[in-house]
Structure formats: structure tokens, C-alpha cells
Structure 1
Amino acid sequence: MNPLRHLLLGAGSFLLGNIASAQRVTPSPELRAFSEQRIKHQKTLGLTLGSFALANIAVGAIAAGQTSGETKYFHKMNVYWNLVNLGIAGFGLLGSRKGSADSETLADAIRKHENMKQILLINTGLDVAYVVGGAYLRERARSGLAQPGLARPGLANSQPDKSDQLNGYGKSIMVQGGFLLAFDLVNYFIFKKRGDKQERLLLSSGLSGVGVAFAIR
């Protein structure tokens, strides 16, 4: 290859590489605002869920030791349930802390925005299942089917503690699932209403006046 041509190609590659890097680490103000809004919202989600979980754990741990019967099991399940919630909240906060609006490309920002909406929608489906599952446990307690294989006529209520456990656990799961259902739905619509508008503007204009098209699931 001609040495001059080789030199020009090398210089061109170097310049293009620098331009691409500059675009990656220096997003437009609009793109940065879009990413920062998502990261801030994720932190709010984690803090809200974490605070709710801590409050439930504290109240449940105290109340479980001071009550009996169905109420005792209700508070015990609140503690178990919110230990999981606390872990989820901590994981979410850790992920949001690692996020940086300064290093996201348009494709990255849109993908993460769409992923958040999908996660919240999937969660709402799980939340409905939790509520239904809690109702099922309470129905089993009322039907005297705490131990289906052992239940016999006249002995359906021979284990009142088991019935209290099913009732308490079921009520707790319904309450916790109901809260999460409202929580996830509200945040999904906030993400959709606020973020989708910015997303459309970014897609229509592209970066640096270049049109960009993405297939969004």
C-alpha cells in the first residue's frame, strides 16, 4: 500500500475514534437530562421501597412478640416479606449508583428506559398473583383444609393454630401484594408519561442532527 495512503487512513481512523469517544462521554444536554431523570427515579424507587420495608420489619418484629393467633402470623409474614423487599431495594439502589448519565449513548438510555417499564409491568402481574395467593390461603383456612390429606369430618378445625397461620399469612400477603401493585402501577405510568415524551423527541431529532431509528419492544 502507498505509504501516504496508509498514513492518511491511520490518521482518519484515529480522528474517527476520537469523535466516537467524545460523543459517548459527552452526550447532548437533552440526552443527559433523559438519563439523569431515569437514574433519579430509580433511586427514588429504591429509597421508597427500602423505607417501607424497614418500617414493616421494625413494626412486625415488635408486634409479633406481643400478639398471638392470626395477628401474630400476620406480623411475622410482614417481616419475612419485607426482608426480601429490603434486599430488592438495596440491589436497585446499588444499580442506580453505578449508573452515569455522562457515559450513556442514546441507544443505552432508550434501552434502559424501556427495560424499566417492562420490569414494572411484569411486577404488576406478579403483584396480582400475590394478592390471589393470599386470598387462596385465607380460603383454605376458612374451609378447614390446613392439611388436605388429613382432614376428616368433624376434625376440620382441630388445628386452630394452623388456621390462624394461614389466615395471618394470607392477610399479610394480600396487604403487601396490594401495596406493591399500586406502587408498581403508579411508577410505571410516571415512567411512561414523563419518559416517553423525551424519548420521542430524542428519536425524532437524533444526536447531532443525525436521524436514528430503533426497534423498541
Structure 2
Amino acid sequence: MGSAQAPLAPAFDTERRALDYRATNVLGTWALANVAAGTALTLAGEGQTKAFGQMTLGWGAVNLGIVAAIRLGKGRSAPTDRAGTVRAQLATENIYLLNAGLDVAYLAGGFWLLEHANTRRTPADYQQNKGFGEALLVQGGFLLLFDGLLYRAHHRHGNKGLYPLLSRVQTVPGGVAVVW
């Protein structure tokens, strides 16, 4: 059993990390596009367009920070055993699920700002709420799609190479058994 267990962790973790690396490329590209577009709209726009640009620029900067933190954290060692691999896999999937929940909150915030804009007394307040709300909808929509697709990709990866092995593990009185 020991020799069958050893190859799983490094190969599986390499594939999981490759998925995340590609994801940071996508998020980094999105972030750079947001910084560029947000800067242009903030500098050249007025009212609602300027507010949209400001929020977009802010989201781009935050996402660039997230990508940088992820890339700098690549020095962490990979799990060396099956239990560590399982923990890392489940943590990865749970992060994307948590992020998807946050993305829904961003969308709700965007809709709230759009509705709240209608109660503003001045045109400037109306335009700012509309611009911020629209930007939140764009960001929340993209991030929900991004996190949802990544959760699905990681879960499929787990189903392909890890979870079938776990389905053979059962607890029995006094220990754990593997059923073939």
C-alpha cells in the first residue's frame, strides 16, 4: 500500500497547483485590464462614468494584490502524504466556494447601490451610486463566474484522482479499512 500511496500526492498536487497558477494568470489579466480601464475612465470621465472608473480601478488594484500574494506564497511546500493532499484539496475547493458566496454579496451590493441611487437628492450622488453599483455588478459577475469555474475544475480534479480513492476508505471498529 505504501508504494501505491507515494505517487499520488506529488502528481495530484502538481496538477492542483497548475490549475491555480493558470487561474492567477486569468485574474492578473483581469486586474490589469481593470486598472487600465479604471484609470482611463477616472481621468477622462465625469459623473457616473468617473465613479464606475474609480470603483473598477480599486477592484483592479485589490485583485493585483491578491495575485501578488498568491504568487509570493508559492514557496510553501506541497503535502507529502495522502492526508495532506486531501486537506489541501478540500481547502482549495472551500476557498472557491467561500469566494463565490462573497461574489453573490458583491452582486447584491451592486443592485442595492443601483436602487439606492434613486433616493439620492443630488445628481452627483445619483451618478456616483449608479457608477459604483454598475462596477460592482461587473466585478461580482466576473468573479462569480471565475470562482464557480475554478471550483468546478478543482472538484473535477478531485473526482478524477483523489475522491475515488477516499470512497474505498471506511472506518471499522478499532481502525480504518480500505475496501477494494
**Normalising by the residue count of structure 2, what TM-score does the alignment of the two structures yield?**
0.85
Please identify which structure carries the higher strand content. 2
**1:63 equivalent among 28, 41, 48:** 41
Q: Equivalent residue for 1:15?
A: none
**1:98 equivalent among 56, 64, 75:** 75
Runs of 4+, deviation exceeding 2 Å: 27-31, 200-206
- The root-mean-square deviation of aligned C-alpha atoms, in Å, is 2.1
**1:184 equivalent among 133, 147, 152:** 147
Q: For the residues of structure 1 that align with 2:137 and 2:168, how far apart are their CA atoms?
A: 46
How far apart are residue 205 of structure 1 and its match? 7.5
**Normalising by the residue count of structure 1, what TM-score does the alignment of the two structures yield?**
0.71
Q: Equivalent residue for 2:111?
A: 135
Q: 1:99 to 1:32 in 2, by over 3 A?
A: same
Asked if structure 1 preserves the Cα contact closer than 8 Å seen for 2:6 and 2:81, the reply is no
Q: Equivalent residue for 2:24?
A: 46
Q: Equivalent residue for 2:172?
A: none
Percent same amino acid at aligned positions? 38
How far apart are residue 169 of structure 1 and its match? 0.4
Structure 2: give runs of 5+ residues left out of the alignment: 170-174
The amino acid across from 2:58 in the alignment is Y
Q: Equivalent residue for 2:63?
A: 85
Structure 1: give runs of 5+ residues left out of the alignment: 1-22, 147-155
**1:162 equivalent among 125, 141, 150:** 125
Q: 1:212 to 1:120 in 2, by over 3 A?
A: farther
The amino acid across from 1:85 in the alignment is N
Whether 1:75 and 2:53 are equivalent positions in the alignment is: yes
CA deviations on 1:120-171 (whole Å, 9 max, x unpaired) are 11111110110010110110112x2x3xxxxxxxxx3xx1111100000010
Q: Equivalent residue for 1:174?
A: 137
Q: For the residues of structure 1 that align with 2:16 and 2:90, how far apart are their CA atoms?
A: 11
Asked if structure 2 preserves the Cα contact closer than 8 Å seen for 1:47 and 1:93, the reply is no
How far apart are residue 56 of structure 1 and its match? 0.8
Asked if structure 2 preserves the Cα contact closer than 8 Å seen for 1:136 and 1:170, the reply is yes
Q: For the residues of structure 2 that align with 1:67 and 1:92, how far apart are their CA atoms?
A: 33
Asked if structure 2 preserves the Cα contact closer than 8 Å seen for 1:203 and 1:212, the reply is no
Q: For the residues of structure 2 that align with 1:79 and 1:125, how far apart are their CA atoms?
A: 22
CA deviations on 1:18-41 (whole Å, 9 max, x unpaired) are xxxxx8xxx733322101011111
In structure 2, the residue corresponding to 1:104 is in which secondary structure? coil
Q: For the residues of structure 2 that align with 1:194 and 1:77, how far apart are their CA atoms?
A: 35
Please tell me whether Structure 1 or Structure 2 has the larger radius of gyration of its CA atoms.
Answer: 1
Q: For the residues of structure 2 that align with 1:115 and 1:75, how far apart are their CA atoms?
A: 34
The amino acid across from 2:70 in the alignment is G
Whether 1:115 and 2:91 are equivalent positions in the alignment is: yes
The amino acid across from 1:116 in the alignment is T
Q: 1:212 to 1:83 in 2, by over 3 A?
A: farther
